[in-house]
């Protein structure tokens, strides 16, 4: 009877070995899969039990974690939530995170490699572990001007302001905005209600950061890119005459392309390139595009950052595009920033900033410093060149044209003693473009001879002016207010 007894004992050993092998598979081999599964709430709960770092703008903690004494030890709170929401993003137990909260999560939750030494010393000294802080390049005064410019009349739109010489993003506003405090609430019902409201298309999806996540047809602001391409390739000078007809039949079609209000481009049969840009003549630029050609236009757009797939500021930026250009008619339309051309407001601000910076494109950046929990600097942002998009000479020629353009615009909110270089745009869109209120654009930089700030403003769907809307009437006053705020500290 002892032989079967020994075998049974061996069988039990076998069963335990089987259990151990299986436990090894789950706890060692597959452990990371389970640990990092988004449905595994342990990771989040663990994060909530540590003090998350602050997000700082202009010395103010715009996102902060405060102790609650509850099961989730820390509550994420936002100072002036809607104002900074497109930048800070949100941090929600249920819905994850967005914006800088998401892009800089490793620093904020303390797991980043740059905080390693600190973590080890926390472990040894028994000090409460906490995350690092992120200091933004955002300037609160400029951010406020941008946000209030958009919200004053209830516009849906976005503003981006960049410092041309460094690429630092001074303001990034998107409206309608949302209050991230509601998404980070520890009350599930509040979170859910906020999430539903903030993602609802009826409310214009406030959670969508229009400054970096949405692309719009740039309209006439794209004429800057066409001009740059023409000047760089030597196919035109500012004085090159272009046809000034009020309408143009697109090549190979019966469709007519009209100038704004169907006016001719000035009094003569031709207009110079400068005049065409100032008056924003569609017919002239449609033909300039054919002179430049698809290749040079694409090359110029790419040099300015259009088409970049992996731009992170560190928030990921949607790629802008020139779109497909299958024939001459498409090239003519693309030359005036219509058809399939689509830019993010950030991209358009970057174009203005590049012209302002003498043709050198700087990589846009939202983070100035990464700080340890004790606010000592762990790593600083250094300006980074993204490439040379045009010669200094071309840039100065375009600047002069933009100054002339700004001088020709209506007077809303102009700042005395400051020379602004600008270009407006009024972009049609939708299935029935003539009866859909257009998007209004304004891109600018100032002061023209020593640029401190470049700005792009977009106001969706005609703002409060419906079909009558233009970039000059909707977006320009906001852009000038942002420039005024930016120059306040400088002058």
Stretch that binds other proteins, among 68-76, 153-161, 292-300, 349-357 (CB under 8 A): 68-76
What the block records as the tokens of 93 is: 């137990």
Q: How far is the CB of 70 from other proteins (least distance, A)?
A: 4
- 449 is a contact residue toward other proteins (CB under 8 A): no
- 467 is a contact residue toward other proteins (CB under 8 A): no
Stretch that binds other proteins, among 11-19, 309-317, 442-450, 481-489 (CB under 8 A): 11-19
Size of the site for other proteins (CB under 8 A): 38
Q: How far is the CB of 59 from other proteins (least distance, A)?
A: 33
Which of the following is catalytic: 220, 280, 320, 334? 220
By the 10 Å C-beta count (0-12 exposed, 13-18 middle, 19+ buried), 293 is classed as middle
Q: Which lies closer to other proteins via its Cβ, residue 35 or residue 410?
A: 35
Q: How far is the CB of 32 from other proteins (least distance, A)?
A: 7
61-70: list long-range contacts, CB under 8 Å, 24+ apart.
62/87, 62/88, 62/136, 63/88, 63/91, 63/100, 63/101, 63/180, 68/186, 70/186
- 27 is a contact residue toward other proteins (CB under 8 A): yes
- 376 is a contact residue toward other proteins (CB under 8 A): no
- 123 is a contact residue toward other proteins (CB under 8 A): no
Place of tokens 């006053």: 477
- 190 is a contact residue toward other proteins (CB under 8 A): no
Please select the residue that binds other proteins; options are 59, 67, 71, 234, rule is CB under 8 A.
71
- 6 is a contact residue toward other proteins (CB under 8 A): yes
- The CA distances from residue 108 to 220, 233, 236, 375, in Å, are 41, 47, 51, 13
Q: How far is the CB of 109 from other proteins (least distance, A)?
A: 16
- 126 is a contact residue toward other proteins (CB under 8 A): no
Stretch that binds other proteins, among 66-74, 107-115, 147-155, 462-470 (CB under 8 A): 66-74
- 66 is a contact residue toward other proteins (CB under 8 A): no
Between CA 180 and CA 2 the distance in angstroms is: 72
Give backbone dihedrals phi and psi of 339, rounded to 5 degrees, phi first: 55, -120
Between CA 139 and CA 158 the distance in angstroms is: 16
What the block records as the tokens of 310 is: 């992996």
Specify whether 376 is catalytic.
no
By the 10 Å C-beta count (0-12 exposed, 13-18 middle, 19+ buried), 190 is classed as middle
- 385 is a contact residue toward other proteins (CB under 8 A): no
Q: Contact, 355 vs 224, CB < 8 A?
A: yes
Stretch that binds other proteins, among 22-30, 234-242, 335-343, 366-374 (CB under 8 A): 22-30
Please select the residue that binds other proteins; options are 72, 190, 233, 328, rule is CB under 8 A.
72
Which string of DSSP letters, residue by residue, matches 326-352?
Answer: -SHHHHHHHTTT-TT-BB-HHHHHHHH
- 4 is a contact residue toward other proteins (CB under 8 A): yes
- 5 is a contact residue toward other proteins (CB under 8 A): yes
Between CA 440 and CA 466 the distance in angstroms is: 11
Q: How far is the CB of 50 from other proteins (least distance, A)?
A: 13
- 434 is a contact residue toward other proteins (CB under 8 A): no
Instruction: Tell me the H-state helices in 167-319.
Output: 180-183, 188-198, 210-213, 223-232, 273-279, 282-292, 294-303
Q: Contact, 169 vs 467, CB < 8 A?
A: no
Stretch that binds other proteins, among 3-11, 111-119, 318-326, 441-449 (CB under 8 A): 3-11
Task: List the catalytic residues.
Answer: 220
Q: Which residues bind other proteins (CB under 8 A)?
A: 1-6, 8-9, 12-13, 15-16, 18-20, 22-24, 26-28, 30-35, 37, 39-43, 45-46, 70-72
């Amino acid at each position: 009877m002892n032989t079967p007894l020994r075998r049974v004992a061996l069988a039990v050993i076998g069963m335990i070995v089987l259990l151990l092998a299986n436990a090894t598979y789950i706890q060692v081999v597959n452990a990371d899969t389970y640990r990092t599964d988004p449905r595994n709430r342990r990771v989040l709960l663990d994060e909530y039990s540590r003090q998350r770092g602050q997000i700082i703008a202009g010395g103010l903690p715009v996102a902060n974690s405060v102790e609650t004494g509850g099961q989730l030890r820390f509550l994420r709170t936002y100072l002036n939530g809607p104002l900074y929401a497109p930048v800070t993003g949100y941090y929600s137990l249920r819905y994850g995170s967005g914006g800088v909260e998401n892009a800089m999560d490793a620093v904020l939750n303390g797991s980043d490699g740059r905080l390693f030494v600190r973590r080890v010393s926390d472990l040894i000294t028994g000090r409460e572990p906490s995350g690092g802080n992120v200091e933004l390049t955002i300037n609160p005064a400029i951010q406020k001007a941008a946000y209030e410019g958009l919200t004053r009349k209830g516009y849906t739109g976005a503003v981006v302001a960049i410092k041309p010489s460094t690429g630092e993003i001074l303001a990034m506003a998107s409206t309608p905005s949302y209050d991230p405090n509601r998404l980070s609430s520890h009350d599930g019902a509040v979170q859910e209600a906020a999430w539903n409201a903030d993602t609802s298309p009826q409310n214009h999806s406030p959670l969508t950061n229009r400054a970096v996540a949405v692309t719009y047809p740039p309209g006439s602001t794209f004429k800057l890119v066409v001009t740059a391409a023409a000047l760089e390739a030597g196919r035109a000078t500012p004085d090159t005459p272009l046809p000034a007809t009020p309408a143009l039949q697109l090549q190979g079609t019966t469709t007519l392309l009209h100038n704004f209000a169907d006016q001719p481009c000035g009094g003569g049969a031709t207009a110079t390139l400068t005049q065409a840009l100032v008056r924003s003549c569609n017919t002239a630029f449609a033909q300039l595009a054919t002179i430049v050609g698809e290749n040079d236009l694409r090359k110029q757009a790419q040099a300015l950052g259009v088409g970049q797939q992996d731009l992170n500021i560190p928030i990921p930026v949607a790629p802008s595009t020139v779109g497909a250009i299958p024939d001459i008619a498409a090239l003519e339309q693309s030359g005036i920033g219509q058809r399939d051309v689509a830019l993010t407001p950030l991209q358009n601000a970057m174009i203005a900033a590049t012209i302002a910076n003498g043709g050198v494109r700087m990589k846009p950046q939202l983070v100035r410093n990464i700080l340890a929990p004790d606010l000592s600097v762990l790593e600083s942002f250094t300006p980074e060149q993204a490439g040379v998009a045009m010669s200094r000479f071309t840039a100065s020629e375009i600047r002069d044209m933009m100054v002339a353009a700004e001088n020709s615009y209506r007077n809303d909110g102009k700042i005395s003693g400051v020379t602004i270089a600008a270009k407006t745009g009024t972009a049609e869109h939708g299935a029935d473009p003539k009866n859909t209120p257009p998007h209004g654009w304004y891109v600018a930089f100032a002061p023209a001879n020593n640029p401190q700030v470049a700005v792009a403003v977009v106001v969706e769907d005609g703002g409060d002016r419906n079909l009558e809307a233009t970039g000059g009437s909707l977006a320009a006053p906001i852009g000038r207010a942002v420039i005024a705020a930016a120059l306040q500290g400088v002058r």
